[in-house]
Amino acid sequence: MNVAARAAREFRFLRGLARTLWAVRKIAPDSDVLICDDFETAIERFGDHTALIFEGERYTYRQLDHIANRFAAWADAQGVQRGDTVALLLPNRAEYIPAWAGLAKIGAAAALINTNLTGAALAHCLSISGATHVITDTESLAAVDTIRAGLPRPVTYWVIDAEGELSEGRRALDLKEPKLPPPAPSKDRRAGIKARDVALYIYTSGTTGMPKAARITHMRAQLYMRAFAGATAATPEDRVYNPLPLYHSTGGLCGAGAALLNGATLVLRRKFSATHFWDDVAENDCTIFVYIGELCRYLVNQPPHPKERTHHLRLAFGNGLRPDVWEEFQQRFGVPEILEFYGSTEGNVSMFNFDGQPGAIGRVPPYLRNNFQVRLVKFDIDSETPIRGPDGLCMQCETGEIGEAIGLIKDDARHNYTGYADKAASERKILRDVFEIGDAWFRTGDLMRQDAAGYFYFVDRIGDTFRWKGENVSTTEVAEALGRYPGVDEVNVYGVKVDKLDGRAGMAAITPGEGFVFDDLREYLAHELPPYARPIFLRMQPAIETTGTFKYRKVDLVRDGFDPAKIEQTLYFDHPREGRYVEITPALYAEIQSGAFKL
């Protein structure tokens, strides 16, 4: 890279960073400015401008505020007090953001429940929320019937747009009466509440075990919303296309903040659809798209669409965009700018890739290292713990070395760690006595590497990376290689135990699509991956199970292993003597487990 190119890169990075830091500069734990105050400030500035487009209906900023005030009045009528929690079990719809904003106006918190949950997982999330009132709709109410065990407290379900008679414990919530919306609650109602107090509970995706409720303070919600209002440089002329669920932070706070704090229009879709994506973007004249990386992969796997290059998108922002998809997405669809970021709902480590380096999740250049307290520490894959030196302290990674990303915990807006509703779970994410006795750092649980220019690259989740033949195998890297094979629609890579063998053997669950040729796969993998990283076992299945944010669930796959007695789909074994993948029968399974093969 020549001098001019380096200068242009640094200018672009610093310009984006300056916008973002300026947007969050006034956020402080003891501030009495809350997230609902940000919402009301936007109403005052952009009152009659279109704030939201949803399923053909348009809502101005003022109209959204009227809906928020109706929710506040409803909560008052039910005796909801400041500090109480009300659960939202709703899909994307126009009332979603006004619901939690209205509750915040009277000092109550909202627990944002994943609408994909059923049975025990749904009961768990409702239980730990502490809510006695659940706002839902007829679409989501069906999930409540899957709860078999009773909840620890009586719960009333309030149904928006209810039709017909409701059963016991369910009541209609009419947001159209009275015809004149009630006035906004006095700010005295929330006097004494500080930005460090809880505004929302957002649940982790539950890729392993039950979801955990992350405590989202007003301060943290402001960081999400204001940071992306600054980072995206959205204006009232922009239209932000958001097909992500509002019960998670990327869609519900980052995507919403980029639009609603800047006077832009949020174009909200109930659910993502790859086939309708370009029609939606073109017809609504969208200029910004908020993504989860898997959505971009779905789009590049679609056949050509007549509108895929006639749009006015200027920016796509989000997280999890794989390097192999990044350039194809940008070049095929003609999206000028990609803004990839890294962050977690509950954590204090966040970063942006402002200058568009393909594949990088963020950047901290060497000259700003002391301004951003994120570090990579050497990590032991076997024990799944950071490596400590003779002095008992952790050791920082060298350039290019893989380690766990951690963030210094301090009591300010950018470094604060609020954890989960479960205090024990919160403590497990804290690493103490890291670089000096008494310090505390947040463990992201993510393995990364950083290059000499300061770019961070995601490697794998801790627990996903496994050791085989004395080598660390990154499931992400194996999945990317498999994903490039023609006809592979989806792939999920993980490690499984084989009796009498150390480590875990690689296994891949594959959803084959059009053009998939099984017989050529083994030869392809031999060219693409080193021997230790090639999957020994394959599982063919019609679809990969995902969370509400399109993250792959592995816990059930790991538990099933490669046992044909547990799995209905066809399983294959890379037979060392035959030099090909062969179908696993009960007899072959027993032979493998007996140690008959040198793997």
Coil, strand or helix at 195: coil
Nearest to 458 by CA among 470, 468, 444, 469: 444
552: closest CA among 210, 204, 294, 273? Answer: 294
pLDDT at 214 over 70: yes
Residue 450: count of CB within 10 angstroms of its CB: 25
Q: Residue 590: which residues within 8 A CB-CB, separation 6 or more?
A: none
Of the candidates 259, 277, 287, 362, which has an alpha carbon nearest to the alpha carbon of residue 320?
362
Q: pLDDT tens-digit profile of 369-413?
A: 999 999 999 998 878 899 999 999 999 999 999 999 999 999 888
Q: What would the DSSP string read from start to end of 96-158?
A: HHHHHHHHHHTT-EEEE--TT--HHHHHHHHHHHT-SEEEEEHHHHHHHTT--SPPSS--EEE
Indicate if the pLDDT at residue 113 is higher than 90. yes
Q: What is the distance between the alpha carbons of residues 558 and 537, in angstroms, rounded to a whole number?
A: 12
As a 3-state breakdown, the chain gives helix, strand, coil percent values, each rounded to 5, of 30, 25, 45
Give residue 206's pLDDT band: very low, low, confident or very high (50, 70, 90).
low
Q: Which residue has the tokens 């502490």?
A: 130
Q: Is there a cis peptide before residue 576, judged by omega within 30 degrees of 0?
A: no
pLDDT band of residue 162 (cuts 50, 70, 90) is: confident
Higher pLDDT, 365 or 501: 365
The arithmetic mean of pLDDT across residues 541-560, rounded, is 75
Q: Look at residue 468 in the predicted model and tell me its pLDDT.
A: 86
Torsion angles phi and psi, residue 176, rounded to 5:
-110, -5
Average pLDDT on 108-137 reads: 92
pLDDT at 121 over 90: no
Query: Which tens digits make up the pLDDT trace of 296-319?
Result: 988 998 999 999 999 999 999 999
- pLDDT above 70 for 208: no
H or E element in which residue 41 lies: helix 35-46
Whether 425 has a pLDDT exceeding 70, the answer reads yes
What's the confidence (pLDDT) of residue 31? Answer: 96
The position carrying tokens 């672009």 is 12
HEC profile for 305-351? CCCCCCCCCCEEEEECCCHHHHHHHHHHHCCCEEEEEECCCCCCCCE
Structural contact between residues 290 and 255, judged by C-beta atoms closer than 8 angstroms: yes
Over 60: is that where the pLDDT of 238 sits?
A: yes
Cα of 436 vs its chain's centroid, Å: 32
User: Phi-psi region for residue 577, left (φ > 0), alpha (ψ -120 to 50) or beta?
Assistant: alpha
pLDDT digits (tens, 9 = 90+) for 445-497: 999 999 999 999 998 888 787 878 767 788 888 998 899 899 999 899 999 98
H/E stretch holding 279 reads helix 277-283
pLDDT of residue 547 exceeding 70: no
Residue appearing with tokens 């609902």: 36
pLDDT tens digits, residue range 356-370? 999 999 999 999 999
Region 420-440 average pLDDT: 94
Conformation bin of residue 568: beta by default, left when phi > 0, alpha when psi is -120 to 50: alpha
Question: Which residues are paired to 242 by β-bridges?
Answer: 268
Nearest Cα to Cα of residue 442 among 533, 359, 350, 355: 350
Q: What percent of the chain has a predicted confidence (pLDDT) above 70?
A: 98
Would you call 345 exposed, middle or buried from its count of C-beta atoms within 10 A (0-12, 13-18, 19+)? buried
Position 285 scores a pLDDT of 97
So what's the pLDDT on residue 41? 97
Q: Domains in the chain, please, with CATH?
A: 3-363 (3.40.50.12780), 367-461 (2.30.38.10), 466-593 (3.30.300.30)
How much is the pLDDT for 294?
A: 81
What's the distance, CA 389 to chain centroid? 34
Q: What is the pTM of this model?
A: 0.84
pLDDT of 156 > 90? The answer is yes
Tens of pLDDT along 249-285? Answer: 999 999 999 999 999 999 999 999 999 999 999 999 9
Q: Residue 595: what pLDDT?
A: 85
Look at residue 504 in the predicted model and tell me its pLDDT: 86
Tell me the C-alpha distance between 305 and 295, whole Å.
16
Tokens of 265: 């229009």
CA atoms within 13 A on the CB side of 91: 15
pLDDT digits (tens, 9 = 90+) for 286-302: 999 999 888 998 899 89
- Return the residue matching tokens 């019960």: 247
**What is the percent of the chain where pLDDT is above 90?**
75
- Round to whole Å and give the CA distance between 298 and 333: 13
What pLDDT shows up at residue 393? 97
Is residue 205 very low, low, confident or very high in pLDDT (cuts 50, 70, 90)?
low
- pLDDT for 370 equals 92
Cα separation, 404 vs 384, whole angstroms = 10
